[in-house]
Amino acid sequence: ELSPQEYFSSLQAGRASLAYFSHNVSPGAQPFLEQIENSAEALQDYGISVVKVNCPKEDVSRYCGKENALRKAYLFRGNMLIREFPTDALFDVNSIVANVLFALLFNEVKYVETLADLQNIENALKGRSNMVFAYVPATGTAEHRAVMEAAFAYGTVHQFVLTTEATLLKDTGNDESDVSSARLLFCHCQQATDLAEPCRRTAMGQTLTMLNIHRHLKLMGAPLVTEVAEDPEKVSTVHLQLGLPLVFILSQKETYEADRRTAEFVAWQLLGKAGVALLSRDLVDLNILLRSNVALKTPEEGVPIKYLVLEDTDEVITLVEDKNKIKQIQEDEEEDEEDEDEKENNNQDIQDDQVVEAVSRDKKRELPLEQILVLTEETFHSALLETARTVVLFYASWEAVSLAVLRSYTEVADHLKGTWGVLLSRVDCWDWPGVCTKENVTQLPTIKIYEKGERSVVYDGMWGTEELTSFIMLSRVSCPLKLATIDEAEGYLRGEFPSELSSYHHTSLLGVFSTATSEAREAFEEAGNILSGHVTMGMYFGDDALALSRKYAVSPPALLLARSGGRSVEGIALSKQSAQDMVRMIRYESLDIFPEITVQNLPRYLQFGKPFLILFSDGDISQMESKEMLKLAKGRPQQAFVACWLNLRKTPVGRGVLKAYFATMPSLPVLVWVNLHAGGQVFKFPSEQSITERNILSWLEKLKAGLEIPSSTLSEEDWKPPLPAYDFLQMMETAVPELPLHTSHRRGDTPERHPPESPGGDTAVREEPSQETKAEKVGSPGRDLRGTAPRLAAREKQGKRHSKL
């Protein structure tokens, strides 16, 4: 606060000041004074001082004298008056700062009203400097202030042009924009050469704030395309610093010119949204695919660069813009829960169960079910009596797994078409729950094989066409099968007898008994019952039993085990085993020593809980490898591990296994040791060594001693829910906030109808009458049965009730 003399004497040349002259008390100017005081600090930043000049009462000079002069503020530069403002134009800090700067930056910020003016300025600037064109709906607004503040900082670099004419905004090609909001365009006139064409423009997407304008101008000032010759992880540009992504166009010497053009094209499209860099692969040693042509670096720390193979420039742009979109959604999330819902639901309602999805994709195909008899509650029992063997599939028409099995079942039916004595049938448990309950079907699907009027067997093998077919066929033959002659017995071992089974690959077991050994025979027969369908078992106790067993260096009771069509027969002596022991032994003995592991047979080997030594091979393994591995497997009678091989041609999913073990496909064949059940380490047999028993053994020694480093370790992760569920509880709580409260009283309940209930009163039933009471009491007038006795009486009574309350 100064006196007029003090003020005028303090003015320095070149320094701007805003002065307000007042006599001591002028109550009307009070709010204005407050605003002007508030703006003092902001204006200080621009070197403008704000002064309140106290006019002495008798002063009648230029500024103090006239009454209406007191309603104005004056802007001076030095002692030169630049502008006088009516106080009502300076209604708040924004308007004060905007108007003051507007007046001071008269040259830096051109105000235009017509398109012609704008074009003139633009043309004049071409080839010289860039232009910042701003539209504000009105002066004195926050946006206007932001533009002026930016002009204060950048006015010497770019030419600022301001308008409040909405038509001008439209004429510059911003048809879509809403004239009620301010806009700012950066016009690239410096590089413009063609006088006829307007300068290229880049609109600012964000709202007009000082910070956003600053950011935009910074981005416009950055080089269009940055050339990079270092590790992209280390590159940092103004874009990344400002939180925008950086797109690398990967270039090679041969295509540099084209890539440069592409980069520039993309850069123009992405101007203001992302930076573009041109990376020469020749100069940087990148460990990436040759095919990759674009990389994306995001400003977030710790996010690795993504290398991509993109087809055209549109994809690059979508890449960035979608990224922005996603980010936007993430930002909006907190405000807008609907969006969140939507986003979550995008995944939640997508089927991620491979079986269910596969079955529903197949549902329109009509299944060839002619061969399979439909059974009902009425026909079930009679049907079982008609054929020697009835196979029944219990399923549910809505259940995916059982429908998947039904598909395999139709294939089985096709294989077995015309086979005598076997009837394939099905029961839909959705139609006939009674049958399924009675037949003790607790899981879907279930397959049972009923023997005419006798027992039934539950199928407990793989749900595959081959396995099921073989099971049905094998179980047709009694197990064990009594062989009458030595010829039959030998034919049986060769796999030629019984002839109907010759086409089904299986292991044949022959029990050889002298008539005396009935105990072992009984156990053998019992074991046969249990194993029926899984193996074939024969039984011979003829005169030549002794001779037959001698041939295989055992004496009766003995078990002869014929693998692969009788090419190798093993003799095993039987002692006093129970049927269960015998089952276990037969199951174990019928396993191969060095099996080819397949999807179907893996579980049989998994059950031992031992490590696996697997030879992965593309096609059959060589005889040499086979011989060495067999030696290895046989040489260790205690079987500390399962030695096996995997044919990638037959079991392609083995590639998936290798992919998981090693980042890249190793050269084949490859020998791998996997501790499936203990620790999950995977070791790879050195590829430079040849696969011989000796090499493997010494390698295994080293493994045991901990001298080898595992190639990878199997994930220990639990199987968690793949996706969250709908949180209905939370949705309900949001919608009905009183829900979590432990209730004592309900809102709007009418106490007169409900005297305090005894503790443990039935709360569930008590609420309904309240609505009814309300409805009656209010009784909308239009519906009122005017003057009826009941209504009259009710009113009377109500009065009474209220008085009681």
Question: Which residues 724-743 are close enough to bind another protein by CB under 8 A?
Answer: 724-729, 731-732, 738-743
Q: Tell me the C-alpha distance between 493 and 485, whole Å.
A: 13
Q: Give me the torsion for CA of 494, 498, 500, 501, rounded to 10°.
A: -50
Which stretch, 29-37, 62-70, 218-226, 407-415, contacts another protein (CB under 8 A)? 407-415
Helices (H), 296-399: 313-332, 337-348, 354-361, 380-386
* Using rule CB under 8 A, residue 396 touches another protein: yes
Q: Tell me the C-alpha distance between 467 and 186, whole Å.
A: 73
* Using rule CB under 8 A, residue 714 touches another protein: yes
Q: Which CB atom, from 415 or from 494, has the smaller least distance to another protein? A: 415
Please give the residues from 79 up to 118 whose contact with another protein meets the rule CB under 8 A.
none
Q: Which of 252, 763, 799, 801 binds another protein (CB under 8 A)?
A: 763
CB of 287 to another protein, least distance (A): 9
Q: How many CA atoms lie within 13 A of 657 on its CB side?
A: 22
Q: Tell me the C-alpha distance between 113 and 102, whole Å.
A: 15
ω before 556 within 30° of 0 (cis)?
no
Secondary structure element (H or E) that encloses residue 46, with its range: none
Q: Which CB atom, from 113 or from 772, has the smaller least distance to another protein? A: 772
Q: CA angle, corner 637, sides to 636 and 639, nearest 5?
A: 75
In contact, 228 and 282? CB cutoff 8 Å: no
* Using rule CB under 8 A, residue 355 touches another protein: yes
* Using rule CB under 8 A, residue 258 touches another protein: no
Report strand pairing: 558-563 vs 568-573. antiparallel
Tokens at residue 763, please? 């709360």
In contact, 339 and 332? CB cutoff 8 Å: yes
Secondary structure element (H or E) that encloses residue 422, with its range: strand 422-428
* Using rule CB under 8 A, residue 405 touches another protein: yes
Q: Residue 133: how many CB atoms within 10 A of its CB? A: 27
* Using rule CB under 8 A, residue 802 touches another protein: no
* Using rule CB under 8 A, residue 780 touches another protein: no
Please give the residues from 678 up to 707 whose contact with another protein meets the rule CB under 8 A.
680
CB of 235 to another protein, least distance (A): 20
* Using rule CB under 8 A, residue 305 touches another protein: no
Please give the residues from 137 up to 166 whose contact with another protein meets the rule CB under 8 A.
none
* Using rule CB under 8 A, residue 377 touches another protein: yes
Q: Which of 258, 283, 593, 599 binds another protein (CB under 8 A)?
A: 599
* Using rule CB under 8 A, residue 326 touches another protein: no
Q: Tell me the C-alpha distance between 596 and 605, whole Å.
A: 11
Q: Which CB atom, from 160 or from 409, has the smaller least distance to another protein? A: 409
Distant-in-sequence contacts of 364-368, Cβ < 8 A, 24+ apart: 367/406, 367/407, 367/410, 368/410, 368/413, 368/414
Q: Which CB atom, from 109 or from 404, has the smaller least distance to another protein? A: 404
CB of 443 to another protein, least distance (A): 6
Report strand pairing: 508-512 vs 670-674. unpaired
Q: Which CB atom, from 114 or from 354, has the smaller least distance to another protein? A: 354
* Using rule CB under 8 A, residue 341 touches another protein: yes
Q: Which of 8, 111, 265, 430 binds another protein (CB under 8 A)?
A: 430
Q: CA angle, corner 239, sides to 272 and 144, nearest 5?
A: 50
Q: Which of 220, 392, 537, 674 binds another protein (CB under 8 A)?
A: 674
Q: Which CB atom, from 442 or from 568, has the smaller least distance to another protein? A: 442
Q: Which CB atom, from 635 or from 760, has the smaller least distance to another protein? A: 760
The phi, psi pair for 646, rounded to 5°, reads: -130, 125
Q: Which CB atom, from 44 or from 345, has the smaller least distance to another protein? A: 345
* Using rule CB under 8 A, residue 519 touches another protein: no
Q: Tell me the C-alpha distance between 724 and 121, whole Å.
A: 59
Q: Which of 760, 803, 804, 805 binds another protein (CB under 8 A)?
A: 760
Cα 618 → chain centroid: 34
Q: Which CB atom, from 323 or from 754, has the smaller least distance to another protein? A: 754
Q: Which CB atom, from 420 or from 719, has the smaller least distance to another protein? A: 719
The per-residue b/e assignment along 263-283, b for 16 or more CB within 10 angstroms, e otherwise, is bebbbebbbbbbbbbbbeeee
Q: How many CA atoms lie within 13 A of 512 on its CB side?
A: 30
The 607-646 site mask, x for binding another protein (CB under 8 A), equals x----x----------------------------------
Question: What is the SS3 assignment for 627?
Answer: helix
Question: What is the SS3 assignment for 623?
Answer: helix
Tokens at residue 379, please? 């026909």
Total interface residues for another protein by CB under 8 A: 130
Q: Which CB atom, from 516 or from 723, has the smaller least distance to another protein? A: 723
Q: Which CB atom, from 11 or from 416, has the smaller least distance to another protein? A: 416
In contact, 509 and 561? CB cutoff 8 Å: yes
Please give the residues from 259 up to 298 whose contact with another protein meets the rule CB under 8 A.
289, 291
Q: Which of 372, 400, 416, 535 binds another protein (CB under 8 A)?
A: 400
* Using rule CB under 8 A, residue 44 touches another protein: no
Please give the residues from 432 up to 461 whose contact with another protein meets the rule CB under 8 A.
432-434, 442-444, 460-461
CB of 727 to another protein, least distance (A): 8
Which stretch, 142-150, 248-256, 493-501, 717-725, contacts another protein (CB under 8 A)? 717-725
Q: Which CB atom, from 548 or from 642, has the smaller least distance to another protein? A: 642
* Using rule CB under 8 A, residue 417 touches another protein: no
Residue 673's DSSP bridge partners are: 613, 683
Q: Which CB atom, from 302 or from 724, has the smaller least distance to another protein? A: 724
Enumerate residues 6+ apart whose C-beta is below 8 A from 2: 10, 51, 52, 53, 54
Among 132, 276, 122, 144, which Cα is nearest to 217's?
A: 132
* Using rule CB under 8 A, residue 408 touches another protein: yes
Enumerate residues 6+ apart whose C-beta is below 8 A from 786: none
Q: Which of 66, 261, 361, 584 binds another protein (CB under 8 A)?
A: 361
Q: Which CB atom, from 701 or from 776, has the smaller least distance to another protein? A: 776
Tokens at residue 9, please? 């004497």
Q: Which of 242, 569, 606, 668 binds another protein (CB under 8 A)?
A: 606
Q: Which CB atom, from 57 or from 291, has the smaller least distance to another protein? A: 291
Secondary structure element (H or E) that encloses residue 454, with its range: none
Q: Residue 309: how many CB atoms within 10 A of its CB? A: 11
CB of 313 to another protein, least distance (A): 23
CB of 680 to another protein, least distance (A): 5
Q: Tell me the C-alpha distance between 432 and 380, whole Å.
A: 10
